[in-house]
Amino acid sequence: MSDLAATLATAWDTLAAGVHDRTAPARHIVLATTGAEGPEARLLVLRATDRAAGTLTLWTDAATAKASELARDPRAALLVWDPEQRLQIRLRARVALRPGTPAEWKALPAAARALYGGTPAPGTAIPAPDAHRATASLARFAILTRHRPRDRNPPPWRPP
Ligand SMILES: Cc1cc2nc3c(=O)[nH]c(=O)nc-3n(C[C@H](O)[C@H](O)[C@H](O)COP(=O)(O)O)c2cc1C
């Protein structure tokens, strides 16, 4: 590709396709953060893109390791690979967490709500696969969005 503007547009189109098409390569995006032991990477579902603002939206459980990692250090890297186009999209971002709103929560199907909440918290070692109780909790529903420097004052929302 020689046209940089067209390349950028293709990258945004590829990302946007993931939001609406479960089979699109950008449906899942790798999010890398800095953990206590070094880099950490995991898959998340891409929930929204805003080309004009240059932002992506992802959702997580506020009790996950990634949430506390981002609260400590908002710098993140994101990665998508589209094999058909042979296109790798690499992004760097500063990520803030905000609580999901009751309206966003209501829009989720019940099965999806159950992904946010539960005991013990994600990442806790359990003695057996069924030693976890799923309880849907709006207080644990966190939206990953762009970190802006002014978020520092007042301090950003820290997950419970
Ligand atoms: C296909 C797939 C989709 C996933 N989507 C999400 C997601 O949207 N949000 C999320 O927090 N975790 C998602 N996960 C789970 C994460 O990859 C990760 O295992 C979990 O969030 C704990 O990560 P952490 O301990 O590094 O915070 C997904 C996993 C897979 C395999």
Residue range 49-83, pLDDT digits in tens: 999 999 999 999 999 999 999 999 999 999 999 99
Pocket of ligand 1 contains residue 65 by CB under 6 Å: yes
Task: Answer whether 18 contacts ligand 1 (Cβ < 6 A).
Answer: no
Say if CB 118 and CB 45 are below 8 A apart. no
Checking if the pLDDT of 152 tops 70, the result is: no
Q: Are 63 and 159 in contact (CB under 8 A)?
A: yes
Q: Are strands 28-35 and 38-50 parallel, antiparallel or unpaired?
A: antiparallel
**CB neighbours of 51 closer than 8 A, spacing ≥ 6?**
12, 16
Nearest CA to ligand 1 atom 30: 43
Whether residue 151 is predicted with pLDDT greater than 80 in this model: the reply is no
Structure tokens at 157: 């929302």
Question: What is the spatial distance between Cα 67 and Cα 116, in angstroms, rounded to a whole number?
Answer: 12
| Ligand 1 centroid, distance to 44 Cα (angstroms) | 5
Residue 18 near residue 28 (C-beta atoms within 8 A): yes
Residue among 22, 27, 28, 64 to mutate when testing ligand 1 (max atoms within 8 A of CB): 64
For residue 39, give Cα distances in angstroms to 44, 122, 154: 16, 18, 28
Report which ligand 1 atom has the smallest distance to the Cα of 67.
Answer: 27
Distance 121 CA to ligand 1 centre (A): 14
pLDDT band at 159 (very low <50, low <70, confident <90, very high): confident
User: Which ligand 1 atom is nearest residue 61's CA?
Assistant: 11
Segment 14-22 long-range contacts (CB within 8 Å, at least 24 positions apart)? 14/80, 14/82, 14/85, 14/87, 14/89, 15/46, 15/49, 15/56, 15/80, 15/89, 16/49, 16/51, 18/46, 18/49, 18/80, 19/46, 19/47, 19/48, 19/49
* pLDDT attached to residue 98: 95
- Ligand 1 within 6 A of 59 CB? yes
45 lines ligand 1 (CB under 6 A): yes
Q: Is the CB of 42 under 6 A from ligand 1?
A: yes
Cβ atoms < 10 Å from Cβ of 63: 22
